[in-house]
Amino acid sequence: MSFQAYLDAVERKTGLTPRQLGEKAREHGFDAGTKAAPIVAWLAEDDGLGRGHAMAMVHVITTGE
């Protein structure tokens, strides 16, 4: 699965674009310095994302678009 396919699946599952989800993450205090584990846990709890999809979003959140 390509990286873009992961991001497309995130959008289908959450109803939010990766950019919107990144903005939501920043509102929760997540940024480039945040480790993956808390972001993955938050995405699983709030949005029901599995580890693979959450890790794709970790990349977007911690490195930008």
Q: Where are the domains of the chain?
A: 3-63
Q: What is residue 64's predicted lDDT score, i.e. its pLDDT? A: 76
Task: Please give the Cα distance from 30 to 38 (Å, whole number).
Answer: 9
Predicted confidence (pLDDT) per residue in 29-44, tens digit: 999 999 999 999 999 9
Please determine, for residue 65, whether its predicted confidence score (pLDDT) is greater than 70.
no
Task: Please give the Cα distance from 50 to 20 (Å, whole number).
Answer: 18
Residue 1's pLDDT band (boundaries 50, 70, 90)? confident
16 is written with which tokens? Answer: 């939010």
15 is written with which tokens? Answer: 């109803």
Residue 24 neighbours by CB distance under 10 Å: 17
Please determine, for residue 15, whether its predicted confidence score (pLDDT) is greater than 70.
yes
pTM given for the model: 0.91
